[in-house]
Amino acid sequence: MLIENMKMAFSAIRANKMRSFLTMLGIIIGIGSVISIVSIGDTMRSMFEGLYREIGVTQAYLFIGYWVDDVRQSDYFTLDEMERVKEVFGDQIAYIDSNSHASADAISGRTTVKFAFNGVDYNYQEVQPVNIVYGRYLNEGDVLGRRKNVVMDTTSAMNLFGVENAVGKTFRTTIYGTTEEYTVVGIYRKKLSPFQAMMMGANTEGGEAFLPYTILTWPNDYFYALRIFARDEATMDVFYNNVKAYVAKSKGRQPEDFRLNSAKDEMGQMDSIMGGLAAAVGGIAAISLLVGGIGIMNIMLVSVTERTREIGIRKSLGARTRDIMIQFLTESAILSACGGVVGILLGGGLVMIGGALLGVQAIVKPGVVLLAVGFSAMVGIFFGIYPASKAAKKDPIEALRYE
């Protein structure tokens, strides 16, 4: 019976192709935009997640809160304190450093390039692996001995020295007022997706390099924040709370006085921004679905009037109220679901094509697709109820007499 009804519905839709198509348009646009927005959101989310994975999701910065008015000297960190944190939390810490950065001009011969220096420990590559192509990474000796050695990427090397393999080459730079000569000990190659390149900014002119963090904390060994990578992602929240509590206590502060900036929280913020965006566009899509649904109701009312005689014939052959009702509901549901399917193909297709053009793997979730088809069918059923009940209530003899 259901299959019979579906066949009838398809033949009725086929009998009025143009009209059916125009009616579906509202649903097509509504579902199409829902699918594309949701898919764009999913795609962006997965890209950001990839980005944060690259940066390290277990990463966090701990520093004195900006809301604290009476910042004291003791609120900053020293290398000794960092060592104590390392001892207390031991294995739970995958990596820790002083989060020291510096920006300075690097000069090699006639070339001057603005460089961003990132002060790291020798085991930084365990949490942020890089692909060393020439030379070596920083080692323990570099860090403990405050040796003026750096590791940079191929692009930076090209910008500064005009060659990729710059191992052994030197440049001069001024950090905290002291100009020194630095030696390149290693070169790595970045592999960035186009999206990451877009988000991080293409590095065509400047340069960046890793150097021992001990150089940047020199000479006073005070620093503003701790950069920590937790060992275990699952328990990192508890771990960071413990770290915060420990640090606050050791400085005679309340834990609330310290701020903990974790990559995971930032990711969550990103998600909620995206969620808000999706909700806004979702509202617009809902309105277009509403309009589409009203279009379906309208055309079904026309169809019911046109087919009054058919309804009369069916009733004369024994169709009950329910039979007629279901027949027309099936038709409006299928009409709407067809619009939904076309909308999905259109919206999903657009996202796929856009993704391909941007070099990004677009994500169209099957669950979302199923939901969209189901929802459009529901719209059809909802807006089909009135026309269908109008059809079902027709008096057989009146309907048969209808010209």
Partner 1 sequence: MGLWNRERTEDLGGSGSGERKWKPDGRPESGDKGQEESGVGTDWAERLQALWKMGLSRSRKLPEYITENVSEELIQLEDLVKVYDTGALKVLGLKRINLTIHRGEFVAIMGQSGSGKSTLMNILGCLDRPSMGHYYLDGVDVAAMNPDELSLIRNRKIGFVFQSFNLISRTSALKNVELPMTYARKGKRFREQRARTLLERVGLGKRAEHMPNELSGGQRQRVAIARALANDPPLLLADEPTGNLDTAASVEIMELFSQLHKEGTTVVVVTHEEEIAAFTERIIRFRDGEIVSDKPNVPREPEQKEAGPNEKGH
Side chain identity at 238, as an amino acid letter? Answer: V
Q: Report the residue from 211, 310, 341, 363 that binds partner 1 according to the rule CB under 8 A.
A: 310
Residues 240-279 vs partner 1: string with x where CB under 8 A?
----------------------------------------
Omega before residue 387 within 30° of 0, cis: no
121 vs 310 by CB, closer to partner 1 = 310
Q: How many residues bind partner 1 (CB under 8 A)?
A: 21
Taking contact as CB under 8 A, which single stretch among the options 115-123, 252-260, 272-280, 321-329 is the one that binds partner 1?
321-329
Alpha-carbon separation of residue 375 from 7, 277, 345, 372, 385 (angstroms): 21, 21, 15, 5, 15
DSSP3 helix / strand / coil % (the chain, rounded to 5): 60, 20, 20
- Pairing, β 178-189 against β 131-135: antiparallel
- Give the relative orientation of helices 321-358 and 308-316 as an angle to the nearest 10 degrees: 130
- Please state, as a whole number, how many other Cβ atoms lie within 10 Å of the Cβ of residue 9: 21
2 vs 234 by CB, closer to partner 1 = 2
The minimum distance between CB 1 and partner 1, in angstroms, equals 7
312 vs 348 by CB, closer to partner 1 = 312
Please answer whether residues 153 and 189 qualify as being in contact, where contact means their C-beta atoms are separated by less than 8 angstroms: yes
| Cα–Cα distance for residue pair 119/100, rounded to 1 Å | 5
Q: Report the residue from 29, 95, 314, 332 that binds partner 1 according to the rule CB under 8 A.
A: 314
Residue 90 DSSP class: G
Residue 381 DSSP class: H
Query: Is 317 a residue that touches partner 1 (CB under 8 A)?
Result: yes
Query: Is 19 a residue that touches partner 1 (CB under 8 A)?
Result: no
Taking contact as CB under 8 A, which single stretch among the options 59-67, 256-264, 309-317, 358-366 is the one that binds partner 1?
309-317
3 state SS of 168: coil
Query: Is 164 a residue that touches partner 1 (CB under 8 A)?
Result: no
The minimum distance between CB 310 and partner 1, in angstroms, equals 6
Please answer whether residues 49 and 199 qualify as being in contact, where contact means their C-beta atoms are separated by less than 8 angstroms: no
Binding residues for partner 1 restricted to 362-401, rule: CB under 8 A: 396-397, 400
Query: Is 234 a residue that touches partner 1 (CB under 8 A)?
Result: no
- Please state, as a whole number, how many other Cβ atoms lie within 10 Å of the Cβ of residue 23: 26
Taking contact as CB under 8 A, which single stretch among the options 107-115, 177-185, 239-247, 306-314 is the one that binds partner 1?
306-314
10 vs 21 by CB, closer to partner 1 = 10
Q: 267 forms bridges with which residues in the sheet?
A: none
Alpha-carbon separation of residue 352 from 51, 199, 231, 359 (angstroms): 20, 20, 37, 10
227 vs 394 by CB, closer to partner 1 = 394
Please answer whether residues 106 and 173 qualify as being in contact, where contact means their C-beta atoms are separated by less than 8 angstroms: yes
Taking contact as CB under 8 A, which single stretch among the options 140-148, 154-162, 307-315, 366-374 is the one that binds partner 1?
307-315
Query: Is 323 a residue that touches partner 1 (CB under 8 A)?
Result: yes
Which residues of the shown chain bind partner 1 in the complex (CB under 8 A)?
1, 4, 11, 15, 309-310, 312-323, 396-397, 400
